[in-house]
Amino acid sequence: MMLKAQYDHRGPVPQAVIRAVPLELPPPAAGQALVAMVASPINPSNLLTLTGEYGVLPPLPAIGGSEGVGRVVALGSGDIEGLSAGQLVLLPRGGGTWVTHLLADARALVPLPEGADPLQLAMLTVNPPTAALMLSEFVSLAPGEWVIQNAANSGVGSYLMQLARHRGLRTVNLVRRASAIQSTKTQGGDVVLVDGEDIAGRVREATAGAAIRLGIDAIGGAATDRLAQCLADDGTLVNYGVLSGEACQLAPSALIFRGITLKGFWLVKWFRSASPAAQRALYGELTALIADGTLHARVHATYPVAQIQQAVAAAGAGERDGKILVTGV
């Protein structure tokens, strides 16, 4: 039986608002493909969408999920080049990927290389490009320079460490609990520290006083200002999340006397302005890095669509080591 993970309302407990319900789909029409979902991750933005706290919310009722991979089951009539039954494809970016099957415009499906881990490819669309673009779009960094980030054991944080190392950059990685230090180091972090009020001094000591020109903030609140304290004068701080649920705090002295710049990043906005060629180049590079093992994300557990409530609850738990993914079976 085909299933979809649907929610009809939003609420403070994300697993309480979503459930698996039967799905009925017609045969693919001309130019369409019927795709069996293989894997789709649960990202923080997905949880915030369920609670109603994300910046852009789909109309209700809605199906959860925003990225993933699947296999082509059948193709509709018409001229469809480059696709065949059984082919692994990247699902269209957007909503509605927590399903066992979906109908998609065949032209929107991106063929993926066989032999690569489909669970890793399922996480290609959101976190890797977010990490890659934040490393390149705001400050022009030379090999050997340092970058600092918080929430370093998150999905984006893991990719950022690996991409930085691939580009010859060094990273200071802040985590919120000591139990996350070792696993963060294994992802390629050069320096891993527990965030706290005295973090600026500890960062200077760990980097021998290096001038850090780029900071990446996923938390907001007071954590934003702590990152700013670690940056060199005229440094740039990029915020892409509010895990604290609080607005970014930045001391006036950081703005007035030290010239710190605070900017925001949202991947959807980048896609709105980037050319198709730039998008293809970005995903081509990232796909190759995932396929050859250069980029790899930890997977904590997988759950079928039928167990979507358990999957969402696990994704919202604090003590886990890796991503939760929804699978089609």
SS3 category, 79: coil
Measure the CA–CA gap between 219 and 240, rounded to whole angstroms: 8
Measure the CA–CA gap between 226 and 171, rounded to whole angstroms: 16
Q: Are 43 and 125 in contact (CB under 8 A)?
A: no
**What residues pair up with 104 in beta bridges, in sequence order?**
33
**What residues pair up with 172 in beta bridges, in sequence order?**
148, 191
Sheet holding 18-22, edge to edge: 18-22, 3-7, 62-63
Q: Are 50 and 10 in contact (CB under 8 A)?
A: yes
Please give the sequence-ordered ranges of beta strands (E in DSSP) within 161-314, or none if there are none: 170-175, 191-194, 214-217, 236-239, 261-264, 299-304
54 is catalytic: yes
Q: Which of 7, 54, 283, 303 is catalytic?
A: 54
Measure the CA–CA gap between 314 and 42, rounded to whole angstroms: 10
Of 308, 290, 326, nearest to 116 by C-alpha is 290
Kindly state the tokens that stand for 307: 């167990």
Catalytic residues: 54
